[in-house]
Amino acid sequence: MEHLIVIVLLSFLAITAVAIVMLHDLVAVVMLFGIFSLLSAVIFLVLDAVDVAFTEAAVGAGISTVLMLGTLALTTPKEKTSPRFAPIPLLVVIITGAALVYGTLDMPRYGDPTAAIHQHVAPRYLERAPRETGIPNVVTAVLASYRGYDTLGEVTVIFTAGVGVMLLLGSPRRQTKRKRGKR
Amino acid sequence: MAWLGLYNYWVVIFLMMAGFYAVITRGNLVKKIVGLNLFQTSVFILYISMSKVQGGTAPIVDNEFAIYSNPLPHVLILTAIVVGVATTALGLALVVRIRESYGTVEEDEIHHLDKSF
């Protein structure tokens, strides 16, 4: 029953993705991308990943959409070139997809508790994390305690990206240029 | 119905290829970044699909429950989502900067301007 819900939601995602690729009005594309993110957040919720679900809803559907709309406001909301049918990229995509589908045939089935991924370190975390860290939410315990250095690295990446954006868009040279342009 | 257990992976591959197709065929830089994000989100769904255990619940330990889904992919994807939005922001800043220098965000026009320069 639970898997049925996931199947229906995944089908919605596929339809949204096709619409995103086909449409030329970029505002509509960005809005559809917000819907896509929100749908995937719902899927994460059904698949028991509650922390991932609210992060995706806040960051993926919220901040990404706002950033893209801001970019459209600074550039142009219309896709100019009408893309003609391109057989070679379609062939490349179909071949890559077929290779990946072939790769999934060996994968453990959905929800299989005997899959290799559930055997090694995850049971240890589930068993000891509440005692060792005092946090009942194992995801938080792993993120902030066992793999705290990874999270520090993540913060470094965000800081670097923030500095990059500031250097690209906030440099004094650019602002004087813009003022000159206004005059 | 054994193939139904692989349905998640196949839809993920379809989404991935839709994003990939948008990246390689569309000339508009904003559309390319949307395609890249599509690809990225489909990888997230792949990881979270693998973490699900039949009959399990969210990995918040409580005496009422015995089976939990695997928390490790959740941690990895939490990090990936936040890093993903950082790269998206940087990419979009580059698009704005390109628009200021070239006056366009269409790839073929940028190539044309580069050649005529």
Query: In the structure, what pLDDT confidence band is assigned to residue A183 with cuts at 50, 70 and 90?
Result: very low
Decide if B52 and A17 are in contact by the 8 Å CB cutoff. Answer: no
Query: In the structure, what pLDDT confidence band is assigned to residue A176 with cuts at 50, 70 and 90?
Result: low
Residue A64 covered by a domain? yes
Decide if A111 and B48 are in contact by the 8 Å CB cutoff. Answer: no
Residue A20 covered by a domain? yes
Decide if B38 and A90 are in contact by the 8 Å CB cutoff. Answer: no
The span from the first CA to the last CA of chain A, in angstroms, equals 64
Residue A180 covered by a domain? no
Average pLDDT in chain A: 87
Whether residue A97 lies within 8 A of chain B, CB to CB, comes out as yes
Residue A177 covered by a domain? no
Residue A21 covered by a domain? yes
| Residue A4 Cα to chain centre, angstroms | 23
The ipTM (two decimal places) reads: 0.91
Whether residue A17 lies within 8 A of chain B, CB to CB, comes out as yes
Residue A61 covered by a domain? yes
> What residue segments make up the domains of chain B, in order of their start?
2-52+69-116
Residue A140 covered by a domain? no
Report domain B2-52+69-116's class. Answer: mainly alpha
pLDDT tens for each residue of A116-144: 888 888 888 888 888 888 888 989 988 88
Look up residue A164 and give its amino acid: G
Decide if B79 and A115 are in contact by the 8 Å CB cutoff. Answer: no
Residue A111 covered by a domain? no
Minimal CA–CA distance to B15: which of A25, A48, A16?
A: A16
The parent domain of residue A48 ranges over 1-78
pLDDT tens for each residue of B26-46: 888 999 999 999 999 999 999
Write down the pLDDT at residue A177: 57
Minimal CA–CA distance to A98: which of B14, B51, B112, B58?
A: B14
Minimal CA–CA distance to A117: which of B8, B46, B66?
A: B46
As for how many domains chain A has, the answer is 1
Reduced 3-state DSSP string for chain A = CHHHHHHHHHHHHHHHHHHHHHCCEHHHHHHHHHHHHHHHHHHHHHCCCHHHHHHHHHHHHHHHHHHHHHHHHHCCCECCCCCCCCHHHHHHHHHHHHHHHHHHCCCCCCCCCCCHHHCCCHHHHHHHHHHHHCCCEHHHHHHHHHCHHHHHHHHHHHHHHHHHHHHHHCCHHHHHHHHHHHC
Mean pLDDT of A71-88: 79
- What pTM was estimated for this model as a whole? 0.90
Write down the pLDDT at residue B45: 94
Whether residue A108 lies within 8 A of chain B, CB to CB, comes out as yes
Residue with the bigger pLDDT between A113 and B16: it is B16
Nearest-CB residue to B60 (from A79, A112, A137): A137
